[in-house]
Amino acid sequence: HKIKKTIRNCRYAYNNDGLVQGLILNNTFKANNKWFITFDDPDIEGIMEAKEHIEDKCKEWDLDKRMSEWLIKEQRDGKHFTQKVIKDGTIQLNELAYDGENYDFEIIHDPRTGETLGYKQKYYVDKDYKSWKNKDFDTLNSQTKEYEEANYLPDEIIYGTLFEEDGKGMSLIMPILDDIYDKWSYEKYKLSVAHKTGNLAVMTVGSKEVYTENVPETFVDKALLQLKDRDKKDAVIIPYGTSIETLGGNYNLPDLNTYINKTLSNIYIQLQTPQTLFASDSSNRSTIQVQTDEETGFGVYLEYMRDTLKNTIENELFDVELELNGFEEAMGHIHLTFVSIKQNREV
């Protein structure tokens, strides 16, 4: 059956499938790894002070953790919405809830130019949330809730995506929801088959010496009783004239590994990760090097994620913060610089 393509189901798959979550976290932490603040023109007046100001703000924004959170959301949900609040002459950041259902956004575009005019948010809120201090803990989530809306101008929102189609962020997980749920079904069925092949017994009534009609039904009943919970017994006694064998591998069973491997291949491909990095039956070393090369393989995707972060942060955070604090000359010259993937590997 087809799985409904929703953000909620993408998050459920991410939270409940170790492979999916592991691949996304691996992408995230390899991309967002070892960075520092630099400037490109030492002759600009006040450039060192500007750099130090941005370094302090990065700590205040908890930028390293925030960038990882953005990358996870962009891969899992397809997008994230972060509010920029100007308070006391500096930027404060607020992550806005989004699930495509109870918490949703509509991006308003100029139909003639495609320019973003603003964002309209729908969110679900407790009608009496302001009086939360006077409520018991157990009643907090049982209050009457209602929808409210909020409007934001373009410069008030950081709208982050890795991939877009027709102006809408694309989740990496959504196209493989069916594969993920199929994998769960196959794995569950495989465990069931393994249990049955090891524990399901076949009892033969009668032998060359004993005709079937000469075996009393009471003997058969006793044999079945002996077989009950036999995995907890060291030995069983069965009536003469009957024989027992385990189902084992003497019977035709479905080749589930073929189906599981197909779903695994689809998941690795969609999540932009070479299967050779993690699969136990991975290819030789030269294949791994080609698939992970920073110019032709996995490294290209990591660089793409880094470039997306760099452009967003420098244009929508650094330059705005510098202008607010009198460092106009430094705008466009303070950079978020990542250690190269090759250097990270060597370290």
Provide the phi-psi class of 241: left if phi over 0, else alpha when psi is between -120 and 50, else beta: left
Q: What is the pLDDT along the chain (347 residues), one digit of tens a residue?
A: 689 999 999 999 999 999 999 999 999 999 999 999 999 999 999 999 999 999 999 999 999 999 999 999 999 999 999 999 999 999 999 999 999 999 999 999 999 998 999 999 999 887 776 777 777 777 766 667 788 999 999 999 999 999 998 888 999 999 999 999 999 998 888 777 666 665 666 667 666 665 666 666 776 676 667 666 656 666 666 666 666 666 555 455 567 888 899 999 999 999 999 887 776 554 555 454 544 555 556 889 999 999 999 999 999 999 999 999 999 999 999 999 999 866 555 54
Q: CB within 8 A of 307, min separation 6: which ones?
A: none
Any idea what DSSP says for residue 172? S
- pLDDT score at 78: 97
Burial of 276 from C-beta contacts in 10 A (0-12 / 13-18 / 19+): buried
3-state secondary structure of 119: strand
Helix boundaries (H) for 77-216: 177-199
- pLDDT score at 347: 43
CA angle 111, 112, 116 (to 5 degrees): 60
- pLDDT score at 108: 94
Residue 25 in tokens: 């976290």
Residues 334, 314 contacting (CB under 8 angstroms): yes
- pLDDT score at 134: 77
β-pairing verdict for 35-39 and 80-87: unpaired
Residue 57 in tokens: 């703000």
Helix boundaries (H) for the chain: 7-16, 18-31, 47-61, 63-76, 177-199, 217-227, 256-270, 285-292, 298-313, 319-324, 341-346
